[in-house]
Amino acid sequence: MMRNLTLNQLARFVHTSAVDHGAWDDVACRPDAKDLAFRLALVHSEVGQALDALLFGEDNRTEEGGRTISVLDPTAIPYVASGEPRGFLAELADVVLRVLDVCGACGYDLDGMVALKASYAETH
């Protein structure tokens, strides 16, 4: 499984998968500013879908035992017939995947930058 990968390893995996599925023209591409702007627009689109899922998505649901599960409950992941995860958490995952794809394409050190930003936030 992929649970023990670093962010950089996950970014390479996600980007390779995106290339394999035709989301990029060239495996060895180095995106220019225009292409990165397009990719960031895709991240923005995923954020919008997360917002839609939060505000207009599936209502809270009630289990057989009568317990109500909020759409914000991490266990509340609705699925469509195809088995694709849907809902707020699934849309947040899509945001992360788009960001990882960009970092994988560019060879960015996401692990290092996240650690640097977390360290800075801790002291300011």
Q: Is 97 exposed, middle or buried (0-12, 13-18, 19+ CB in 10 A)?
A: middle
* Beta carbons of 45 and 94 less than 8 angstroms apart: no
* Beta carbons of 104 and 39 less than 8 angstroms apart: no
CA-nearest of 31, 51, 34 to 94 is 51
Whether the per-residue pLDDT at 2 is higher than 90: the answer is no
Mean pLDDT of 29-37: 82
pLDDT at 29: 61
| Greatest extent of the chain over all pairs of C-alpha atoms, in Å | 54
Whether the per-residue pLDDT at 62 is higher than 90: the answer is no
Structure confidence at residue 105 as a pLDDT band (50, 70, 90): very high
